């Protein structure tokens, strides 16, 4: 009897603990808004209670901005809501919320890759008038003009830039110093450096690139192609460039790096590349800059003080870098029922000078003139931005990327020849362009 | 039961069934004949989506992979579920709930979470304990199989993962069936000289035929719909030919830049037909058994 009672008590205690634990888990994981930086968010109080739903994926670079918006702009009659979501979830929810006459979200996080397509289809509100109205209040002119252009389509601004991510190179300074190596500035040097690291016995597979064959590999191909001076589509705006000599060279150059990469590299996305660097199983990585600050956190890796950063190499000497510039920003969906004026003030606060300062070093803010000395990778990112190929900000880029990703994967994996692959990519791109 | 009470109790279920099953089914069938973009009315394309689906070699590969996986996983789970259930059935009253509780952990875990953790067993970035242990035991002869980039090693871990999370369910169902087998019949068989194997083959298995048929039915449906575990375990599924039908539908219908709900819906309708064909023998057998009872 006593045993039964104590068993029951134990069961009740376990259940209660689990429930409390789960509740705490839920509360704590919703957002980091409770601890976010508070900035001024002064808007004219709406007459009625207004809820603003924000769609933004969670990452160490985007979180400071979304959390600041939630913590600073929830007052009076306005409640800002932001639920945690991953990037893939954001992509799907963006498509769904922008689809009809009404949507679930009033503010969406967008990025330069998708803005032209969404803007062309009339899914986003042009922000130029609101930008002009509030540029004084939020010092919006300090936001880099090139980044504003990246969030524009046909001369109109559709996204207020918050931060930028650029492909940046990270390397193990200790191993480079030990072997007398310098950060590579071309693919040729990258191969030489990787070979030396292999030969020294320090690293079996020194190079780590996010080349997941089902997704990230298209970013790698585009960065290589852009570095060789070509875009997906020729300047005539019609002809795909996939059967050009540059496209063939891009794929061959990518394949030439495989001997220095993990044999399963085509399954590695950015978190896995980060993990390779944390573990010490890679010495050189090229990823978007938003991932860099994680590498120097002691809680993540015992190698936190061994990393250094540089701009990525170019494919050929004198060419543009193996680079990609992605600008993240806030957009207002065309189907939101909330007052656009009110929403823009929330966006302005979220990217204000104070909010942008607070996002360093997790993010590389879109604002110019901020003190970035606390950021270990800022100098490298700055060089990477300066040397990155100009972005092909066109509505056809997302569908072509999607249509060609599996083919690129197949070529890199050696299942398809470069010649066959480029022909297949050309055909896929022509099909996309026929629908444009 | 009065007619009014009957409708009062049945109506909520009918509403739920209508809302959550028939409406989506109707939408899927309708979209399968249309070119659909989110938020805009579809435009009719006749049987265009069906001819596109049936003309895509990828669908054939996805069907072949899914059917192969279904046969292997179902057969394995039926056989080993039976063996495990027999063993658990012989445990004492105190030990049995504990063993059952531990075994059911993999079943109640969300598939995608379980699959991510499972992938780490084979991923050297996250320890790769399987390679480590196998190489320790074999003196290094096991080597470093490319679990995620070669077709057959990848199929092996996908199948192993499906068995890992589905075996407990088979075991639980079969255990319930075993507990209904009459001890008198077993004793009679023993007195008649039947050995342990004969008792299983000629007494126990025929007695729980209905339960085994039910397990077969559920497993056929579940494995045919495998999706989320492939996200973690087979990041290169398309290239390796390890794309399941559901993953193929997802890739066609929802992947960024290639939203094609019409084609995805047509493949879904074809999948429903395939599942119905495959399940027909099991359903017929279950109905016959129910009528006989």
Q: Is the pLDDT of residue A311 over 90?
A: yes
What's the pLDDT score for residue A5? 54
The 8-class DSSP code of residue A186 comes to B
Picking from B38, B125, B144, the nearest residue to A95 by CB comes out as: B38
Task: Tell me whether residue B1 is in a domain.
Answer: no
Range of the domain at B280: 18-55+260-293
Task: Tell me whether residue B4 is in a domain.
Answer: no
Name the band, by pLDDT with cuts 50, 70 and 90, for residue A4. Answer: low
Query: A14-18, A127-131, A303-307, B202-206 — which is least confidently predicted?
Result: A14-18
Domain identity same for B140 and B119? yes
Q: Is the pLDDT of residue A434 over 80?
A: yes
B145 conformational bin, left if phi > 0, alpha if psi -120 to 50, beta if neither: beta
Task: Tell me whether residue B2 is in a domain.
Answer: no
The SS3 of residue A328 is strand
Q: What is the pLDDT averaged over residues A8-13?
A: 51
Domain of residue B96, CATH code: 1.10.3720.10
What's the pLDDT score for residue A417? 96
Domain identity same for B197 and B63? yes
- How many Cα atoms within 13 Å fall on the side-chain side of residue B165? 22
Q: Is the pLDDT of residue A19 over 90?
A: no
Residues on chain A touching B125 (C-beta within 8 angstroms): 272, 275-276, 279, 281
Rounded CA gap, A429 and B202, in Å? 63
Domain identity same for B29 and B121? no
Task: Tell me whether residue B278 is in a domain.
Answer: yes
What's the pLDDT score for residue B20? 84
Residues on chain B touching A18 (C-beta within 8 angstroms): none
Q: Are B219 and B170 in contact (CB under 8 A)?
A: yes
Q: Is the pLDDT of residue A31 over 80?
A: no
**Share of residues in chain A with pLDDT > 70 (%):** 92
- Across the interface, whether the CB atoms of A266 and B125 are under 8 A apart is answered no
Q: In chain B, count H helices and then E strands.
A: 17, 2
- How many Cα atoms within 13 Å fall on the side-chain side of residue A165? 22
Domain identity same for B65 and B116? yes
What's the pLDDT score for residue A26? 35
- Across the interface, whether the CB atoms of A413 and B239 are under 8 A apart is answered yes
The SS3 of residue A276 is helix
Higher pLDDT, B93 or B290: B93
Using an 8 Å CB-CB cutoff, list residues of chain B that contact chain A.
37-40, 124-126, 144, 146-149, 235-239, 254-259
Domain identity same for B81 and B192? yes
Picking from A264, A281, A410, the nearest residue to B239 by CB comes out as: A410
Domain identity same for B102 and B223? yes
For residue A75, give every residue at least 6 positions away whose Cβ sits within 8 Å of its Cβ, in sequence order, or none: A41
DSSP annotation string for A87-123: HHHHHHHHHHHTTSSS-S-SEEEEETTTHHHHHHTT-
Domain identity same for B190 and B266? no
What's the pLDDT score for residue B37? 75
A170, two tokens:
């990270």
What's the pLDDT score for residue A379? 93
Domain identity same for B67 and B33? no
Residues on chain A touching B144 (C-beta within 8 angstroms): 263
Angle value at C-alpha A422, between A419 and A424, nearest 5 degrees: 110
Q: Which residue of A has its CA nearest to B120?
A: A272
Picking from A99, A101, A212, the nearest residue to B235 by CB comes out as: A212
- Across the interface, whether the CB atoms of A402 and B256 are under 8 A apart is answered yes
pLDDT tens-digit series, residues A204-236: 999 999 999 888 899 999 999 999 999 999 999
Closest alpha carbon to B271 in B240, B248, B255: B248
pLDDT tens-digit series, residues B163-198: 999 999 999 999 999 998 988 988 999 899 888 899
Task: Tell me whether residue B11 is in a domain.
Answer: no
Pairing of strands A284-288, A207-208: parallel
Task: Tell me whether residue B6 is in a domain.
Answer: no
- The DSSP element (H or E) to which B191 belongs, if any, is helix B183-191
Name the band, by pLDDT with cuts 50, 70 and 90, for residue A33. Answer: low
What's the pLDDT score for residue A328? 95
The average confidence (pLDDT) of chain A is 90
What's the pLDDT score for residue A176? 97
Q: What is the pLDDT averaged over residues A260-281?
A: 93
Domain identity same for B48 and B110? no
List phi, psi (to 5°) of A275. -65, -40
What's the pLDDT score for residue A34? 63
Q: What is the pLDDT averaged over residues A51-80?
A: 94
Q: Are A352 and A43 in contact (CB under 8 A)?
A: no
Number of domains in chain B: 2
pLDDT tens-digit series, residues A348-407: 999 999 999 999 988 999 999 898 888 899 999 999 998 888 888 889 998 899 889 989
The 8-class DSSP code of residue A281 comes to S
Residues on chain A touching B39 (C-beta within 8 angstroms): 98-101
pLDDT tens-digit series, residues B83-135: 999 999 988 888 888 888 888 888 888 888 899 999 999 998 888 899 999 99
Prior bond to A258 cis, omega within 30? no
Buried b (16+ CB within 10 A) or exposed e, B125-154: beebebbeeeeeeeeeeeeebbbbbeeeeb
Domain identity same for B146 and B117? yes
Rounded CA gap, B4 and B8, in Å? 6
For residue B237, give every residue at least 6 positions away whose Cβ sits within 8 Å of its Cβ, in sequence order, or none: A214, B230, B243, B244, B247
What's the pLDDT score for residue B161? 96
Segments in B90-140 forming alpha helices (H): 95-103, 105-108, 111-122, 129-138
Interface probe, candidates A101, A214, A409, chain B, greatest B C-beta count within 10 A = A214
As for the ipTM of the complex, it is 0.75
By CB atoms closer than 10 A (0-12, 13-18, 19+), residue A380 is buried
Domain identity same for B23 and B134? no
Q: Is the pLDDT of residue A237 over 60?
A: yes
Q: Which residue of A has its CA nearest to B58?
A: A406
Q: What is the pLDDT averaged over residues B197-202?
A: 92
Q: Which residue of A has its CA nearest to B36?
A: A99
- Across the interface, whether the CB atoms of B38 and A96 are under 8 A apart is answered yes
Domain identity same for B129 and B221? yes
Picking from B236, B239, B257, the nearest residue to A398 by CB comes out as: B257
What's the pLDDT score for residue A8? 54
- Across the interface, whether the CB atoms of A409 and B148 are under 8 A apart is answered no
- How many Cα atoms within 13 Å fall on the side-chain side of residue A229? 7
pLDDT tens-digit series, residues B216-253: 999 998 999 999 999 999 988 988 899 999 999 998 88
What's the pLDDT score for residue B288? 80
Interface probe, candidates B113, B235, B247, B254, chain A, greatest A C-beta count within 10 A = B235
- Return contacts of B267-271, CB within 8 angstroms, 24+ apart: B267/B53, B267/B59, B268/B28, B268/B32, B269/B28, B269/B29, B269/B32, B270/B50, B270/B53, B270/B54, B270/B59, B271/B224, B271/B245, B271/B246
Rounded CA gap, A250 and A232, in Å? 12
CA of A31 vs chain B CAs: smallest distance (Å): 21
């Amino acid at each position: 009897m006593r045993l039964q009672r104590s068993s029951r008590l134990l069961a009740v205690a376990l259940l209660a603990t689990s429930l409390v634990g789960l509740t705490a888990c839920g509360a704590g994981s919703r957002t980091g808004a409770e601890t976010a930086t508070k900035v001024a968010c002064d808007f004219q109080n709406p007459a009625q209670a207004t809820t603003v739903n924000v769609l933004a994926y969670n990452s160490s670079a985007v979180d400071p901005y979304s959390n600041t918006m939630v913590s600073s702009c929830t007052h009076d009659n306005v409640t800002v809501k932001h639920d945690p979501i991953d990037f893939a979830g954001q992509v799907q929810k963006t498509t769904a919320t922008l689809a009809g006459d009404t949507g679930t979200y009033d503010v969406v996080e967008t990025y330069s890759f998708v803005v032209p397509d969404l803007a062309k289809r009339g899914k986003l509100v042009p922000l130029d008038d609101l930008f002009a109205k509030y540029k004084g209040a939020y010092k919006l002119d300090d936001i880099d003009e090139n980044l504003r252009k990246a969030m524009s389509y046909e001369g109109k601004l559709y996204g207020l830039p918050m931060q930028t991510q650029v492909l940046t190179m990270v390397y193990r300074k200790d191993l480079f110093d030990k072997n007398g190596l310098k950060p590579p500035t071309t693919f040729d040097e990258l191969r030489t450096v990787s070979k030396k690291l292999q030969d020294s016995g320090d690293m079996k597979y020194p190079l780590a690139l996010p080349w997941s064959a089902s997704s990230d590999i298209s970013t790698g191909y585009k960065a290589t192609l852009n570095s060789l001076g070509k875009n997906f589509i020729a300047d005539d705006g019609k002809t795909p460039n996939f059967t050009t000599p540059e496209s063939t060279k891009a794929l061959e150059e990518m394949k030439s790096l495989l001997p220095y990469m993990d044999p399963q590299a085509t399954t590695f996305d950015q978190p896995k590349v980060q993990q390779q660097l944390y573990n010490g199983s890679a010495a050189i990585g090229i990823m978007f800059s938003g991932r860099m600050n994680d590498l120097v956190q002691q809680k993540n890796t015992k190698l936190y003080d061994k990393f250094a950063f540089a701009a990525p190499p170019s494919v050929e000497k004198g060419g543009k870098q193996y680079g990609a510039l992605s600008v993240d920003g806030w957009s207002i969906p065309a189907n939101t029922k909330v007052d656009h004026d009110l929403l823009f003030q929330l966006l302005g606060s979220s990217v204000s000078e104070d909010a942008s300062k607070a996002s360093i070093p997790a993010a590389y803010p879109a604002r110019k003139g901020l003190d970035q000395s606390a950021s270990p990778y800022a100098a490298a990112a700055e060089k990477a931005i300066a040397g990155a190929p100009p972005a092909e900000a066109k509505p056809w880029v997302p569908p072509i990327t999607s249509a060609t990703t599996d083919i690129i994967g197949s070529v890199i994996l050696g299942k398809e020849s470069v010649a066959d692959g480029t022909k297949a990519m050309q055909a896929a791109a022509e099909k996309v362009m026929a629908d444009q | 039961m009065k007619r009014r009470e009957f409708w009062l109790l049945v109506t909520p279920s009918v509403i739920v069934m209508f809302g959550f099953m028939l409406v989506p089914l109707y939408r899927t069938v309708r979209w399968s004949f249309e070119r659909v973009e989110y938020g805009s009315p579809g435009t009719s394309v006749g049987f265009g989506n069906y001819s596109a689906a049936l003309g895509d070699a990828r669908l054939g590969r996805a069907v072949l992979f899914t059917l192969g996986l279904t046969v292997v996983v179902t057969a394995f789970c039926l056989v080993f579920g039976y063996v495990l259930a027999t063993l658990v059935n012989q445990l004492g009253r105190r030990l049995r709930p504990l063993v059952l509780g531990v075994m059911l952990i993999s079943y109640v875990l969300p598939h995608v979470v379980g699959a991510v953790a499972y992938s780490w067993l084979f991923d050297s970035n996250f320890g790769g304990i399987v390679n480590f242990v196998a190489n320790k035991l074999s003196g290094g002869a096991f080597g470093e199989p490319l679990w995620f980039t070669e077709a057959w090693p990848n199929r092996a871990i996908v199948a192993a993962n499906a068995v890992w999370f589905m075996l407990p369910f088979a075991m639980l169902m079969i255990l319930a069936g075993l507990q209904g087998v009459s001890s008198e019949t077993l004793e009679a068989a023993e007195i008649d000289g039947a050995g342990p194997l004969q008792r299983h083959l000629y007494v126990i298995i025929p007695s729980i035929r209905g339960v085994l048929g039910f397990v077969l039915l559920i497993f056929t449906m579940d494995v045919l719909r495998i999706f989320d575990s492939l996200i973690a375990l087979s990041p290169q599924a398309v290239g390796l030919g390890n794309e399941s039908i559901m993953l193929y539908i997802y890739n066609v219908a929802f992947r960024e830049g290639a939203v094609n709900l019409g084609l995805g819906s047509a493949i879904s309708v074809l999948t429903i037909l395939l599942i119905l064909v495959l399940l027909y023998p099991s359903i017929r057998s279950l109905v016959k058994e129910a009528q006989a009872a």
